[in-house]
Amino acid sequence: MITSVLIGYWMSALDATILNLGFGTIAGHLNVGIDEVAWASTAYALALVIAMPLSGWLAANLGRKQAFIAAIAVFTAGSLACAFSNSLLVLTVARFIQGFGGGAMQPLGTAALLDAYPQEQLPKAFQIIGLGGMLGPLTGPLVGGWMLDNFPWQTLFVINVPIGLAVIAMASIGFVQRPVTPERRRFDWGALALMAGGLIALQYAIQEGPRSEWFASASVTLAALVACGALGTFAFTQLRSARPLVDLKPLRLFTFDAGLLLLIVTTIGTTGTAFVVPLFLQQAVGFDATAAGLAAVPAAIGTIVAIAAGGYLRRVSPIVIAVAGLLLLGFGTLWIALMGNTIGFGEIILPRFVQGLGNGLVYVPFNTLVMVGIPQRLYDAASGLSGVTRQLGTSLGYAVLSAQIVALQHSAAVTLSGRVHVGAGASSRSLGQIAQALTQRGFAPSDAAAQAPSVFSAIVQREAVVWGFQSSLFTIAMLFLIVVPIVVLLWRFAPRAAAEA
């Protein structure tokens, strides 16, 4: 069972990242723009957040084993459809099908592993889950790059077919579940419409907000209102229903809600780091795409090392492990922010590895806190809700930090560019130094003086880019450090809250 769940996790995580490498190739094959191909990734993300909460209903009606096998089958069928896509519309629909299978597969597999361990051994279960989840981001760029260099782009999806069939065979033989009788609940299409509509509107507001100045845009404002209304109505009706489509009872437990809040915050930070650092290395430092991608490998290795080492830290309090992880995340992020834009590839390896260690140390305690006190019958529902929370945290991290980077770079450029027009002081000295340097390179004094302001402006723009990225990294680091006292307070409360649940 563990092998089939781990491979399922790996496939789902792999396909969440592997398509990014093939955007240009696929866009050329389908004769569309790269920005249009991005809709295929958006469809995958939307399908994930819609399918995850439905895992509880699927497990209750089909049985967890049958639901897991069905999810793998849907994912595999979607992968095959992606490989045979001959238009953007077909690819987008196929990616949605693929994402729906992957979204249901993750919480069902999580619940199955948690069911196999008693409450006091939940950290061990999350070690296994974490290792499976991290193998995708680690191998995605390597496997995807190799495939694109040596095979047609369709291979990115065809590879899932034999693996998916093998997982179905393994799960059919070795998947163990508690003896349960399927409930055969009626499927509530109205509730599905509310949930799907609310999540799609929320995802749209999060993704389009940075590009449209958030609530200055009527469409973003409308999407946010629709999301609040639809999801609020959905939550109200589901909590009052005797047989809900999505069981929201875990939300009544304080430790679960607190754990979800921590997951959102830390996911924003870790996602933000994964988003900001590669851009910083390319746009501010001057790395090419390959080097920037390789710089992410030490972080993934650090995460795997920390999660795997968790077995040797069982006598250490989870709160100590979590705090140590947050401090490492904050320290590693500050380290990169303070290095400036003159660093080489070798210098980035250690701070990225430190960030990865912190991420791995945080993963198990935070996920354990989420599930403390959750009855086994609610594992499927709780796993689905935590999966949605993590996915929304990822989207929010991208949106908030991309908006902050643009705003900070614009502000810095305006501030620094204004100094060019000052007649005295540091600016004049800078212009004089630039003119002198140009003269030494063979420019005539008059030409050097004329070129100096434009060269100075280019320097200002580059400094503004660096400032924007560094400020965002400082924000992420502070986010990790601010969470530390909150974690201490919540963890002291968690045992008592779980006992009273």
State the pLDDT confidence band at 111, using cuts at 50, 70 and 90.
confident
State the pLDDT confidence band at 318, using cuts at 50, 70 and 90.
confident
According to the model, what pLDDT value does residue 425 have? 44
State the pLDDT confidence band at 426, using cuts at 50, 70 and 90.
very low
User: What number is the average pLDDT over the span 233-255?
Assistant: 83
Q: Which one is predicted more confidently, 274 or 382? A: 382
The reply to whether 1-185 and 248-405+474-501 are identical in fold is yes
Q: Could you tell me the pTM of the whole model?
A: 0.70
Region class of 188: left (phi > 0), else alpha (psi between -120 and 50), else beta: beta
State the pLDDT confidence band at 34, using cuts at 50, 70 and 90.
low
* SS3 of the chain: helix, strand, coil, percent, to 5: 85, 0, 15
Q: Please determine, for residue 472, whether its predicted confidence score (pLDDT) is greater than 90.
A: no
Average per-residue pLDDT in the chain?
A: 75
In 201-227, which positions are buried (b, 16+ CB within 10 angstroms) versus exposed (e)? Answer: bbbbbbbebbeeebeebeebeebbebb
SS3 label, residue 494: helix
Q: Exposed, middle or buried: residue 73 (CB in 10 Å: 0-12, 13-18, 19+)?
A: middle
Q: Please determine, for residue 495, whether its predicted confidence score (pLDDT) is greater than 60.
A: no
Q: Which one is predicted more confidently, 261 or 314? A: 261
DSSP 290-346: HHHHHTTHHHHHHHHHHHHGGGGGTTS-HHHHHHHHHHHHHHHHHHHHHTTT---HH
DSSP class of residue 479? H
C-alpha dihedral sign at 427, 428, 433, 438: positive
According to the model, what pLDDT value does residue 441 have? 67
Q: Please determine, for residue 376, whether its predicted confidence score (pLDDT) is greater than 50.
A: yes
Q: Please determine, for residue 79, whether its predicted confidence score (pLDDT) is greater than 80.
A: yes
State the pLDDT confidence band at 374, using cuts at 50, 70 and 90.
confident
Give the Cα separation of 256 and 183 in Å (integer).
Answer: 25
Q: Which one is predicted more confidently, 10 or 301? A: 301
Span 251-304, pLDDT tens digits: 887 778 877 888 887 887 777 777 677 777 777 777 776 677 677 788 888 888
Q: Please determine, for residue 499, whether its predicted confidence score (pLDDT) is greater than 60.
A: no
Q: Which two tokens stand for residue 178?
A: 């508690």
Say which CATH topology domain 1-185 has. Answer: Growth Hormone; Chain: A; (1.20.1250)
Domain coordinates in residue numbering, the chain: 1-185, 187-244, 248-405+474-501, 410-466
**Which amino acid type is present at position 290?**
T
Q: Please determine, for residue 448, whether its predicted confidence score (pLDDT) is greater than 80.
A: no
Q: 253 near 374, Cβ under 8 Å?
A: yes
User: What number is the average pLDDT over the span 336-358?
Assistant: 84
According to the model, what pLDDT value does residue 408 have? 62
DSSP class of residue 501? -
Percentage of the chain lying above the pLDDT 90 cut:
5
State the pLDDT confidence band at 421, using cuts at 50, 70 and 90.
very low
The domain 248-405+474-501 belongs to what CATH superfamily?
MFS general substrate transporter like domains (1.20.1250.20)
Give the Cα separation of 149 and 21 in Å (integer).
Answer: 11
Q: Residue 496 contacts by C-beta under 8 Å, 6 or more apart in sequence?
A: none
Give the Cα separation of 202 and 454 in Å (integer).
Answer: 43
Q: Which one is predicted more confidently, 140 or 263? A: 263
Q: Exposed, middle or buried: residue 282 (CB in 10 Å: 0-12, 13-18, 19+)?
A: middle
Q: 314 near 366, Cβ under 8 Å?
A: no
Q: Please determine, for residue 500, whether its predicted confidence score (pLDDT) is greater than 50.
A: no
User: What number is the average pLDDT over the span 348-361?
Assistant: 88
In 388-415, which positions are buried (b, 16+ CB within 10 angstroms) versus exposed (e)? Answer: bbbbbbbbbbbbbbbbbbeebbeebbee
- Among 15-19, 226-230, 475-479, top mean pLDDT goes to 226-230
Span 159-198, pLDDT tens digits: 888 888 888 888 887 666 665 555 666 777 888 898 888 8
Q: Which one is predicted more confidently, 30 or 130? A: 30
User: What number is the average pLDDT over the span 8-23?
Assistant: 65
Q: Which one is predicted more confidently, 111 or 328? A: 328
